[in-house]
Amino acid sequence: MSRSPAQRQGAWAEQRVLRLLRLRGWQLLERNWRCRWGELDLVVQKPGRLLLVEVKGRRPGNRDGWGTAALRRPKRRRLARAWSCWLADHPRWERTPVEQVAALVPLPPSTAPVRWIRLGD
């Protein structure tokens, strides 16, 4: 099945973020993990730490503030529910500290850096 342009752009943005995280020593645990509550784009780990990453790829001039509008309370609730499902499926990680971030990725032709926003707390 072929992917839509938006799906290809999303996959490109996720790959860019994953490359950056790997350069910083993070290891991939899950990519595009799904449950009835939603999807977790990337779950990565370092010893004793987990990072949940919501990836938003955007073109310049996008009306939703480069993806920030897509991170409002309903989206954060879905992420929290999906995270709870993930932890239920992966109980060995339930006591590991987790940080939730959004990676706002400018799509080509932009060469701007990825913007990181801390979620939660």
Confidence of residue 77 (pLDDT cuts 50, 70, 90): very high
Rounded mean pLDDT of the chain?
89
Q: Model-level pTM?
A: 0.89
- What are 95-114's pLDDT values in tens digits? 999 999 999 999 888 888 99
What pLDDT is recorded for position 92? 97
What pLDDT is recorded for position 80? 93
Whether omega before 109 lies within 30 degrees of 0, making that bond cis, reads yes
Question: Is residue 73's pLDDT more than 90?
Answer: no
At 4 the three-state DSSP class reads: coil
More confident residue, 73 or 17: 17
Beta strand extents in the chain (DSSP E only): 27-35, 38-46, 49-58, 98-106, 115-119
Confidence of residue 25 (pLDDT cuts 50, 70, 90): very high
Q: For residue 29, which amino acid is it?
A: L
Measured in Å, how far apart are the chain's first and last C-alpha atoms? Answer: 39
Q: Would you say domain 5-119 falls under CATH 3.40.1350.10?
A: yes
What pLDDT is recorded for position 79? 93
**What is the C-alpha radius of gyration for the chain, rounded to an integer number of angstroms?**
14
